[in-house]
Amino acid sequence: MNTPEFIDLPEVLSAGGSVRLPGSKSISNRVLLLSALAAGDTEVRDLLESDDTERMREALSALGVDMHSLGNNAWLIKGVGGTFPNKQADLFLGNAGTAFRSLTAVLALSGGTYAVSGVPRMHERPIGDLVDALRQLGADIGYVGSEGFPPLTIRPATIRSGGVVRVRGDVSSQFLTGVLMALPLTGVETTVEVVGELISKPYIEITLAMMARFGVQVRRDGWQRFIVPAGSVYRSPGTIYVEGDASSASYFLALGAIGGGPLRVEGVGETSVQGDVRFADALAQMGARISMGPNWIEAGAPVNGRLRGIDLDCNHIPDAAMTLATTALFADGVTTLRNIASWRVKETDRIAAMATELRNLGAKVDEGADLLRIEPPASFVAPHAGIDTYDDHRIAMCFSLAACGVPVRINDPGCVAKTFPEYFARFAEVTRAVPVIAIDGPSASGKGTIAARVAAELGWHYLDSGAIYRLTALAAQRAGVAWDDEPALARIAAELDVEFGEDSIRLSGEEVGDAIRLEEISIGASRVAALPSVRQALLFRQRLFRRAPGLVADGRDMASVVFPDAQTKIFLTASVEVRAQRRYKQLIDKGIAANIAPLLLDLRERDLRDSQRSVAPLQQSEGAHLLDTTELTIAQTVAQVLEWSRQA
């Protein structure tokens, strides 16, 4: 499958509706592992189908666990009732932390020879505290590369029965989760003592709740001591439903709070075992309207106006707290997120990544060892190079919220497949983008005049996309770059320093409104417009014109390429003779000498070049209204466009 390099999100006017959440990643991977270890078959419903759960399923299959899909996100897993049948396996777990840590613990007590590895980033994520804990039980685990980090080799060992195991809890709660889930394999009572402050406590709640569903009751003494009783064995609960993902819910709840709402997420609610549902409380503290049922949560904008910044200890919602960082862009005042040190050892260093990208949008950000302080921008900046996502699904999803303030380009959007492959499709369904009227047509068809008048009537913005190609041709001419030097032209297009005013167009500060209309530049524009990398370089620049309350855009590929989701699409044309007449009159009116015959010839040539080029040729796109203005006045044409836009 080809993964796109970026996705461009248009500015969002409002958000509302409802979203059915995909299954929770945390629950899915725990349930998969426990179903595999349990005695009896388990039918798992609503399992998350994503990269991380696929890594877990692949690993379990390689370990000899029999499972098959029942369709509709349901799986039947035949429990092995003890340790894995395959005593030798080489497992690749990608960047799935939940799978890596818990499987390592279980394999260490399974009496086999195993190699466990992941992607390069996984090999930078610490695991030493888990290995140290397992070694206390007698496990034989070795580091293949750096001490304290994957990949690992695991060998059969004599496991010491019972007693006390000490596990550090202040780097990742997944170490404690791993040890707890593995201990029933020993069959004897073992006490686990947590060293240091336990972070991400809600994930331990999930672990204990899932173990209980599979028949193992862990006794506990606060967050300090956990006792796995003698004779603990996992037994299938028969059928188990996976809750919706509460961390994934956070993006939509924030969208509702920023974009008006009400926006409802279905699949989690007040009875959820996932701590991340408490993200809703943080949003409420920011002023959002929140309501909750057993299996749903709804968010809307504050009753009286805007969200406000908060100062919050985020230990209880480590993943969902990332969403607060981008929600803070839309709040009055400063937002401070504390106790988030664990962000540094996740898919990427999330504190650093967040700070960089928030600053790229114009926010002022202070970054501490375990905190982030965000002051929203007075006005948004849209980075032309896009928002980088660091192979981190949550960074990609968090920054989609920026579209509530400015059009944004998200690089490598495919990384959301880790937990939410359908994220951007759901996002589009619950957001209303700034509307566009796209008007395409040949040279001198009157597009410019019509589009500018329609924009003025509606009070919308206007994009003359031809001017952007003309500016590129002019800038190239001034830089001494030939109109067929594609790489140099693409660079010029990407770096074009233009400013569109009410009645002015400035190139590097100089007024060029007339210069770009010269016939010579028309020819240059048509040439440079035929080059794919020039068009690519100008794509996002054009999309940035789509700002509230709306945009009227004219050109050749507005409906087909630049704004394929435009609400109203129009193909405006007129006979070539009438167009030559109009151009002739325009020139004479400006006091420029002109002849009809060469104008006619030139238009014919340009029509041919614009419509026969291989990239984005001029064409009437599907769904576009054909409007032939040969016999129409300007007023009649404008009225027709407005009528179609009202019907859209």
Q: How far is the CB of 288 from ligand DC (least distance, A)?
A: 40
Half-sphere exposure at residue 152, Cβ-oriented, CA atoms within 13 angstroms = 30
Question: Residues 6 or more apart from 593 whose CB is under 8 A from it?
Answer: 587
Q: Is residue 462 within the footprint of ligand DC (CB under 6 A)?
A: no
DSSP one-letter string for 437-494: EEEE--TTSSHHHHHHHHHHHHT-EEEEHHHHHHHHHHHHHHHT--TT-HHHHHHHHH
- Residue whose pair of structure tokens reads 């020993």 in the numeric block: 186
DSSP 401: G
Q: How far is the CB of 524 from ligand DC (least distance, A)?
A: 9
Show the tokens assigned to 481.
Answer: 């770059």
Q: Is residue 583 within the footprint of ligand DC (CB under 6 A)?
A: no
CA dihedral angle for residue 179, residue 183, residue 186, residue 189, rounded to 10 degrees: 120
Question: Residues 6 or more apart from 77 whose CB is under 8 A from it?
Answer: 32, 35, 36, 41, 42, 43, 44, 60, 65, 66, 67
Q: How far is the CB of 555 from ligand DC (least distance, A)?
A: 2
By beta-carbon proximity to ligand DC, the closer residue of 221 and 511 is 511
Q: Is residue 524 within the footprint of ligand DC (CB under 6 A)?
A: no
Give exposure, 58-67, as e/b (b: 16+ Cβ within 10 Å).
ebbebbebeb
By beta-carbon proximity to ligand DC, the closer residue of 213 and 556 is 556
Q: How far is the CB of 464 from ligand DC (least distance, A)?
A: 7
Question: Residues 6 or more apart from 383 whose CB is under 8 A from it?
Answer: 360, 361, 409
Total binding residues for ligand DC by CB under 6 A? 14
Best CA proximity match to 363, nearest among 381, 350, 383, 347: 381
Q: Is residue 465 within the footprint of ligand DC (CB under 6 A)?
A: yes
Which of 555, 563, 568, 640 binds ligand DC (CB under 6 A)? It is 555
CB-CB contact of 65 with 110 (8 Å): no
Which of 97, 405, 466, 550 binds ligand DC (CB under 6 A)? It is 466
Q: Is residue 529 within the footprint of ligand DC (CB under 6 A)?
A: yes
SS3 content of the chain, % helix, strand, coil (to 5): 40, 25, 35
- Residue whose pair of structure tokens reads 């790229």 in the numeric block: 360
Chain residues 328-357 in contact with ligand DC, contact rule CB under 6 A: none
Q: How far is the CB of 433 from ligand DC (least distance, A)?
A: 20
Q: How far is the CB of 550 from ligand DC (least distance, A)?
A: 18
By beta-carbon proximity to ligand DC, the closer residue of 399 and 563 is 563
Show the tokens assigned to 222.
Answer: 């606060």
Show the tokens assigned to 624.
Answer: 């576009």
DSSP 387: B
The CA-atom distances, in angstroms, between 147 and each of 135, 186, 216 are 14, 27, 33
Q: How far is the CB of 592 from ligand DC (least distance, A)?
A: 16
Chain residues 352-381 in contact with ligand DC, contact rule CB under 6 A: none
Q: Is residue 557 within the footprint of ligand DC (CB under 6 A)?
A: yes
- Kindly indicate which of the ranges 50-58, 396-404, 464-472, 498-506 contains the residues binding ligand DC, using the contact rule CB under 6 A: 464-472
Q: Is residue 526 within the footprint of ligand DC (CB under 6 A)?
A: yes
Show the tokens assigned to 31.
Answer: 């349930």
State the Cα–Cα distance between residues 493 and 350, nearest whole angstrom: 33
By beta-carbon proximity to ligand DC, the closer residue of 347 and 610 is 610
By beta-carbon proximity to ligand DC, the closer residue of 397 and 525 is 525
State the Cα–Cα distance between residues 407 and 7, nearest whole angstrom: 11
Which of 525, 566, 572, 624 binds ligand DC (CB under 6 A)? It is 525
Q: How far is the CB of 60 from ligand DC (least distance, A)?
A: 52
From residue 396 to residue 435, what is the string marking binding to ligand DC with x (rule CB under 6 A)? ----------------------------------------
Q: Is residue 299 within the footprint of ligand DC (CB under 6 A)?
A: no
By beta-carbon proximity to ligand DC, the closer residue of 293 and 532 is 532
Which of 173, 342, 443, 560 binds ligand DC (CB under 6 A)? It is 443
Question: Residues 6 or more apart from 319 whose CB is under 8 A from it?
Answer: 247, 250, 276, 394
Which of 101, 556, 579, 583 binds ligand DC (CB under 6 A)? It is 556
CB-CB contact of 70 with 76 (8 Å): yes
Amino acid symbol at 385: A
Q: How far is the CB of 445 from ligand DC (least distance, A)?
A: 9
Q: Is residue 606 within the footprint of ligand DC (CB under 6 A)?
A: yes
By beta-carbon proximity to ligand DC, the closer residue of 96 and 525 is 525
Chain residues 205-244 in contact with ligand DC, contact rule CB under 6 A: none
State the Cα–Cα distance between residues 284 and 399, nearest whole angstrom: 20
Q: Is residue 569 within the footprint of ligand DC (CB under 6 A)?
A: no
Which of 320, 610, 624, 641 binds ligand DC (CB under 6 A)? It is 610
Give exposure, 525-556, as e/b (b: 16+ Cβ within 10 Å).
bbbbbbbeebbebbbbbbbbbbeeebbbbbbb
Best CA proximity match to 414, nearest among 437, 397, 429: 397
Q: Is residue 469 within the footprint of ligand DC (CB under 6 A)?
A: yes
Q: How far is the CB of 488 from ligand DC (least distance, A)?
A: 18
From residue 477 to residue 516, what is the string marking binding to ligand DC with x (rule CB under 6 A)? ----------------------------------------
By beta-carbon proximity to ligand DC, the closer residue of 394 and 453 is 453
By beta-carbon proximity to ligand DC, the closer residue of 250 and 522 is 522
CB-CB contact of 80 with 60 (8 Å): no
Residues belonging to the active site: 319
DSSP 3: P
Q: Using CB under 6 A as the criterion, which residues of the chain lie in contact with ligand DC when the complex forms? A: 443, 465-466, 469-470, 522, 525-526, 529, 555-557, 606, 610
